[in-house]
Structure 1
Amino acid sequence: MHLINYISVLLLMVSSSCTQTKLIKTEPPEWTKTAAIYEIMPKQFTPQHNLKGITQELARLRNQYVSAVSILPIFTTLDINNAYNPGDPYACSEFLTIDPALGTDHDFKTLIDSAHHFNIKVLLEFNLTYTTPNHPWRKEYPEFYKSCQAKNDTAFNQDYIRFNLEHKTLQKKLHILEHWMKDFPLDGFVLMNADQFPESFLNLLGSKINSKKFYLVSGSNTPEFVERGYFDSYFNYDLYHLFIKMVDNTCTSQDFKSLMEINEKATFKNASILFNQNALLNNKDGTETQRFYGFYKLCSVLSILTGGIPMMMNGQEEPMFDRINPYSNQAIVFNKFFSRDFFRSLFIHRVDNPAIQSIQDNLPVIISDATHVLAFERKHGEASIVVMANLTNQVQSFTLKNDYIQRLEFFTRALTNFEKNKSYTLNPYQYIVLTNIK
């Protein structure tokens, strides 16, 4: 079903004379149907700045109904502030050993065992398309990289640190995913920059693993790779781009309808990973509250309820008003937890209400013709969830196509009635969620 049992073959291009194989993927692992993923920056997550600190927080995460953690690279990084990729937590100086500052192999095994005790899956993130400039291969095997030229005029040449994914000899040197799969009972990998993998490379990787239990995620916006059977899921940046449009009031319900149609056409529906914040966005754009001030919770509601697998980033339960600094080990300050119950209640409801689980027959249906109000219902059997959301910073009116009588408003727990063809208004970025599951 996926790529990888040997990523001793990770960066290999098969020659044109080789037979290309394509794995026919079955549906994603069963546990993803109710999954809520929590992304962790290991050096900033706790005051201990290490794997033991993460282990100590697992009980709290389980109480928050997190069911999977996705941990950024834990490999050795000697030059986090280098000139080519400064502050990039995905740029590693070595792929096979745990950074001593984070802990030992034993610490990581203890973390995974403890997570499994709490019924939490553990995913490990990789970016195997580039390194830091001080990776030993940069000197020993310069042919592994796209360029030997350190600078272009006065600028640092990014191809100097980027792997040449077509170099066949790389398979003899890379034992990366194979090593981590063999030595640690991980539940999956997230492969960043997967959109840069050549198809012949994907075919080769796909031929090396056939495990229904192992969860493989593309960290790029690559629904086509899921369709072809190379990955179980992908990071859905299309939804995030709609949130960006909401900042200047240019987002419409038709934009969301178009996004929903992509999901509807997919072989495995509701399989993309949805979010309004992750580690890459933290580095690039800052925090959710900085980008979406005034409606960041609405973005989270849509990420969790629109249709897919929700992911939140460490610190969103506070929430975060300052960007996490990847240049330093300054720990996230957890002391308020203002949004913890918000996320917890939605994640619990994802377990309790099959209408919002990642299954095949509960796709969202638009229930209003309003331009700037997104209103949709998802159903599975008798279970239902209804979302009404103002996509702008202005008051908006709308009508519904159906009656929703004696429904429980999810956040206030008040019984409410919404009648079809009756006019209602929503304040700027206001949202209402109705459920029939108490």
Structure 2
Amino acid sequence: MKKIVLSLVMLAFLASCNENAKPKETKTTEETEVLAPISDSVLETATIYEANIRQYSEEGTFDAFTKDIPALKEMGIDIIWVMPIYPISSTKSKGSLGSYYAITDYTKVNPEFGTLEDFQELVKTAHDNGIYVILDWVANHTGWDHVWITEHPDYYTQDKDGNIVDPLNPETGESWGWTDVADLNYDNKAMRKEMTEDMAYWIKEQHIDGFRCDVADNVPTDFWEEAIPALRAEKDIFMLAESAKAELVPAGFDMLYNWPGLHTMNDIAKGEKTADAWNALKAEQDSTYAKGTMFMNFITNHDENSWNGTVFERYGDGVETFAALEYMTPGMPLIYSGQEYDMNKALLFFEKDTINKTKGKFYPIYEKLNKLKATHPALNGGKNAAAYEVLPTTADAKVLAFKRSKEGDEVYYIANLTAAPVTAKVDLEGNFTEYMSGKPIQMGATALELKPWQYMILVK
């Protein structure tokens, strides 16, 4: 790993589109040798980790998280997505601490988490360990304490009486209920310019590697078409959209949320859909999205965990089966803070909470799955993803079976996606190793006896 020489220097604040704009943080890092910019080849084998700084540790600080970055590297993490780190608005806030997504300044850090220097150490430590860092970016709205509210009310959506409004559902015109934030007006070109400059600050001055963009499809697509090339003029960056809209890929995003995949897995787990719904979804996505479209696959994230229940509540005894499916299907798997520690509670969103960092069943499972993903071309999931081929079974409504292949490498996934035992034949012959257990298995004419939610990953 190349060493990064870090020194603190004072800079004049970045030029903005108006002379009254607040200065950005003046401390920056100067890197003489850095981790190579993220590339398409990295994305083929990568696993992403969502870091909830507030809840990750008892301290809830950058420093406490930074200490664990070497362990995340050993577990097989390649990209860290850090949830919003910016100061939080107190006006109209929810709970005692407020939402990470109600931002008062895009270019400063929340003192709850530490200092800018602490964040710089987080980025440096990640880069030293060969891990990329992307920031959660909230372009759709700000908190009510943002300086733009008073200095540039024209930066915001207003009602007929000139009152700034919270975000509205474009289909109904009604509030989403996000009353702690103010909706930004993308008809204002000066606001667009400042937004892009604030994003560029984190790339140029703090050396992050990209952004996860909150409710990206609520922001006009033409903003991303303008902003992303401007940001990439600084260096190659990774752009993740919290959206499943296909139009965002040609707009510059590298990866979309696989919301349809999450919902399909939830429905199968509840018995509302059968196993063959997964292959039907894959066929639909292949016909709908352009070749090379990349999805982030997940069984939970901060929203799902806090608002819709834990993975154990939603998947029951099938949690491991769907976690493995997340890795086996084309795309990039996500681990949310606490998943690796068998977290079985919904983390508070507007208050301090913490995860219990005790290794249990899932830590070694994720280590194995990350290693498999990183070392088998058959699991490439980026813009040049490995092939996905359905394997017929004698119980397609209950058993999901498919083959992934690339460059002569083959990996197979076979799973009983029901809560009852199943006997089924799979159209596959040969001698294999079941990867998770290390046991040999012969596939052929004999039917498989699969326990409830049993899955197998077969390698040559």
Answer whether TM exceeds 0.5 for this pair.
yes
**More divergent stretch after superposition (145-154 vs 392-401):** 145-154
Alignment of 1:8-27 (within 5 A): none
Maintained 8 Å contact 1:80/1:89:
no
Matched residue, 2:144: 133
**More divergent stretch after superposition (328-337 vs 379-388):** 328-337
Matched residue, 1:343: 366
Structure 2 counterpart of 1:55, which letter?
Answer: T
Are 2:402 and 1:381 equivalent residues in the alignment?
no
Q: 1:414 aligns with which of 439, 442, 445?
A: 439
Aligned length: 411
CA drift at 1:85:
12
SS state of the match for residue 55, structure 2? coil
Relative to structure 1, the CA distance from residue 401 to residue 85 in structure 2 (aligned partners, 3 Å threshold; closer, same or farther) is farther
Alignment of 1:250-289 (within 5 A): 250-262=272-284, 264-265=286-287, 266-269=289-292, 271-289=294-312
Q: 2:447 aligns with which of 401, 423, 426?
A: 423
CA drift at 1:410:
1.2
Relative to structure 1, the CA distance from residue 80 to residue 56 in structure 2 (aligned partners, 3 Å threshold; closer, same or farther) is farther
Matched residue, 1:365: 389
Maintained 8 Å contact 1:62/1:118:
yes
Relative to structure 1, the CA distance from residue 204 to residue 84 in structure 2 (aligned partners, 3 Å threshold; closer, same or farther) is farther
Relative to structure 1, the CA distance from residue 179 to residue 361 in structure 2 (aligned partners, 3 Å threshold; closer, same or farther) is closer
Q: 1:236 aligns with which of 235, 238, 258?
A: 258
User: Considering only aligned residues, what root-mean-square deviation do their CA atoms show, in Å?
Assistant: 2.9
1:53-94 CA-partner distances (Å, limit 9, x unpaired)? 111011111111111110001000143982599853222122
* TM-score normalised by length of structure 1: 0.86
SS state of the match for residue 379, structure 1? strand
* Gaps in structure 1 of 5+ consecutive residues: 1-5, 10-26
Matched residue, 2:216: 194
**More divergent stretch after superposition (151-160 vs 369-378):** 151-160
Alignment of 1:151-162 (within 5 A): 158=179, 161-162=182-183
Structure 2 counterpart of 1:167, which letter?
Answer: N
* TM-score normalised by length of structure 2: 0.82
Alignment of 1:88-127 (within 5 A): 88-127=99-138
Are 2:73 and 1:62 equivalent residues in the alignment?
yes
Relative to structure 1, the CA distance from residue 78 to residue 205 in structure 2 (aligned partners, 3 Å threshold; closer, same or farther) is closer
Are 2:197 and 1:167 equivalent residues in the alignment?
no
Maintained 8 Å contact 2:141/2:181:
no
SS state of the match for residue 161, structure 1? strand
CA drift at 1:418:
1.5
Relative to structure 1, the CA distance from residue 145 to residue 96 in structure 2 (aligned partners, 3 Å threshold; closer, same or farther) is same
1:290-321 CA-partner distances (Å, limit 9, x unpaired)? 22121111111011111111111010011111
Structure with the larger RCO, 1 or 2 (CA within 8 Å, 6+ apart): 1
Q: 1:39 aligns with which of 33, 47, 50?
A: 50
SS state of the match for residue 157, structure 2? coil
1:236-291 CA-partner distances (Å, limit 9, x unpaired)? 11110111111331323432223323554554537211111111212321221122
Matched residue, 1:203: 225
In structure 2, how many angstroms separate the alpha carbons of the residues matched to 1:122 and 1:390? 36
* Gaps in structure 2 of 5+ consecutive residues: 1-13, 18-37, 169-173
SS state of the match for residue 217, structure 1? strand
Structure 2 counterpart of 1:103, which letter?
Answer: G
Maintained 8 Å contact 2:97/2:350:
yes
In structure 2, how many angstroms separate the alpha carbons of the residues matched to 1:424 and 1:154? 52
Maintained 8 Å contact 1:80/1:86:
no
Maintained 8 Å contact 2:200/2:231:
no
Structure 2 counterpart of 1:240, which letter?
Answer: L
SS state of the match for residue 213, structure 1? coil
In structure 1, how many angstroms separate the alpha carbons of the residues matched to 2:406 and 2:398? 27
Structure 2 counterpart of 1:201, which letter?
Answer: F
Matched residue, 1:247: 269
SS state of the match for residue 417, structure 1? strand
Matched residue, 1:435: 459
In structure 2, how many angstroms separate the alpha carbons of the residues matched to 1:48 and 1:80? 25
